[in-house]
Amino acid sequence: MDDSDSDSKSCSYSDTTSSGESSVEEWQISKEKWPNMKVKILEWKKKMFAKWKQIFATSCVFAVSLDPLFLYIPFINQDMNCLRLDQKLKIAALTLRSVTDIFYIMDIIIEIYTSKICSSLTIELHHISKSEFLGNTFLPTLAKKIWQSYILIDILAILPLPQVLILTFFSRMGASRSSETSKFIMNFFVLMQYIPRVIRIYLSCEAPKKSPRRETPIWVKGVLNFFMYILASHILGAIWYFFAIQQMTACWQYACQNENGCDPNTFGCHYQTFKDDLCPISSPNATIFDFGIFLSILQSGVPSSTNFLQKFSNCFCWGLRNLRMDED
């Protein structure tokens, strides 16, 4: 009995020691593997971050190509000689712009999350109060990060300038001096909003060049240059259309100033014959009003159409021709 008890005890002891040794060995193995696992996790994060930057760069290109849609929203009601807004195009432009803005917001969040702010601030949070942490540490650090990174450009890029200015100011301008100020403000900010978006595309395209691992193929550079040429033609044509609408409204303002008892709201849809007399399109008279480079598009009837494909094709071809002329 004693021998059997001693044997069982020795067996159980040997089992526990062997299991303990195996657990220690497994812990040592896992400890040895941990640095490799950490490296793999960091590499995976870098790959995912690089993929996101590619997706974001593509969304930036789409955003710039979709912004000119807002310039096509106003059109001329030729029967009543007044301005209208294309409601279908307005809804489509607002929806697409909102989708592209989501990518900018996501990039801002990712830039803040991947920075060293979160890890460093978490350590400091244990040593100070929440109010001191928020006022003296978090907000100044976040502001510094925004100023030193691309986050500020992203914030400027998502400002709703075309939505507010075109859809609000353009439809409310009257035949007064304030309308000229409104036009200037609208044109300035609508054109300026392209600057942060184009800069963001440039920075996104320049980022892969800084990595020593891979070099951008020549054909990729060629495709990008060709696409930027097409995009410039698209934007130039849309601006030409937008300014043609404004040139017509400027003629209406001029006609109203020369008409006794003219209603200041010349853009309202109530027919006024003096507009046809002082703003002739079919038989233009430069001594009355000079439409300049916008006469051809006004004579074509494109500003009076709600057919977007017709507008886009005519204006895009005009922009393409003029860019080629500038190069020659």
Instruction: For 261-271, write each residue's pLDDT tens digit.
Output: 676 554 556 66
Going from N- to C-terminal start, the domains of the chain cover: 42-56+83-216, 218-328
Whole-angstrom Cα distance, residue 241 to residue 19? 81
What is the spatial distance between Cα 120 and Cα 139, in angstroms, rounded to a whole number? 13
Band the pLDDT of 141: cuts 50, 70, 90. Answer: low
Identify whether the C-beta of residue 241 lies closer than 8 Å to the C-beta of residue 315.
Answer: yes
Predicted local distance difference test score (pLDDT) of residue 17? 47
Q: Which helix (H) or strand (E) holds 83?
A: strand 82-85
Question: Where would I find the H helices in the chain?
Answer: 2-66, 87-114, 117-125, 130-132, 139-148, 151-157, 161-164, 170-172, 177-192, 194-206, 218-257, 273-278, 295-300, 308-327
Beta bridge partners of 85: 74
SS3 75: strand
User: Mean pLDDT, to the nearest integer, of 142-151?
Assistant: 65
Q: How far is CA 148 from CA 52, 114, 143, 173, 209, in A?
A: 21, 14, 9, 40, 20
Band of the pLDDT at 170, cuts 50, 70, 90? low
User: What is the reported pLDDT for 12?
Assistant: 47
Cβ-based neighbour number of residue 186 at 10 Å = 21
Per residue in 50-85, pLDDT tens? 888 888 888 888 999 999 999 999 998 877 777 888
pLDDT band, very low/low/confident/very high, at 38 (cuts 50, 70, 90): low
CA-nearest of 141, 63, 135 to 104 is 63
pLDDT for 180-226, tens place per residue?
777 888 888 888 888 888 888 887 777 666 555 556 677 777 887 88
Average pLDDT, the chain: 75
6 pLDDT higher than 90: no
- CB burial of 76-88 (b: ≥16 within 10 Å; e: otherwise) equals beeeebbbbebee
32 pLDDT above the threshold of 70: no
Q: What is the pTM of this model?
A: 0.75
pLDDT of amino acid 5? 52
Helices of type H across 149-217? 151-157, 161-164, 170-172, 177-192, 194-206
